[in-house]
Amino acid sequence: MNFDWVTAHVGMPLLKILILLVPVFTVVAYMVWFERRVLGFFQSRLGPNRVGPLGLIQPIADGLKLLLKEDVVPANARPFLFKIAPVFSFFPAFVGFSVITWALPWVTASGKTHGFVVADVDLGLLVILALSSMGIFGILLGGWSSGSKYPLFGSLRSASQMLAYEVPLTLSVLSVFLLAGSFRMSDIVAAQQKLGGYFLFPGIVAFGVYLVAAVAETNRTPFDLPEGESEIIGFHTEYSGMRFAFYFVAEYANVVLTSVLAAALFLGGYDIPFVNDAALYAAHPALTSLLGVASFAVKGALFAFFFVWIRATWPRYRYDQLLRIGWFVLFPLALVNLLLMALLRLWLLR
Partner 1 sequence: MKALARFAKMVTFWELVKGLGVTTKYLVKPKVTELYPDKRPVLPYRTKGRLHVDIETCISCRMCEKACPEGCIKVFPPPKEVFKTDKRPAEFLINQEHCLHCGLCVDPCPTGSIHHSQEFELVVFDYRELLFDKERLPCDLDQPRYRWNGLENARAEK
Site of interaction with partner 1 (CB under 8 A)? 38, 40-46, 309-310, 312-314
Torsions phi, psi for 91 (to 5 deg):
-65, -55
Closest distance to partner 1 from the beta carbon of 263 (Å): 20
Cβ distance to partner 1 smaller for residue 90 or 223: 223
Closest distance to partner 1 from the beta carbon of 160 (Å): 24
- Cα separation, 22 vs 28, in Å, equals 10
CA distances from 275 to 29, 246, 266, 271, 291 (A): 32, 40, 17, 8, 11
Cβ distance to partner 1 smaller for residue 40 or 147: 40
Closest distance to partner 1 from the beta carbon of 50 (Å): 10
Closest distance to partner 1 from the beta carbon of 5 (Å): 53
Residue 146 near residue 157 (C-beta atoms within 8 A): no
Cβ distance to partner 1 smaller for residue 48 or 151: 48
Secondary structure E strands in the chain: 106-107, 113-114
Cβ distance to partner 1 smaller for residue 31 or 191: 31
Residue 240 near residue 205 (C-beta atoms within 8 A): no
- Cα separation, 303 vs 256, in Å, equals 9
Q: Which amino acid is at 193?
A: Q
Closest distance to partner 1 from the beta carbon of 38 (Å): 8
Burial per residue of 278-297, b for 16 or more beta-carbon CB atoms within 10 angstroms, e otherwise: eebbeeebeebbebbbebbb
Cβ distance to partner 1 smaller for residue 314 or 319: 314
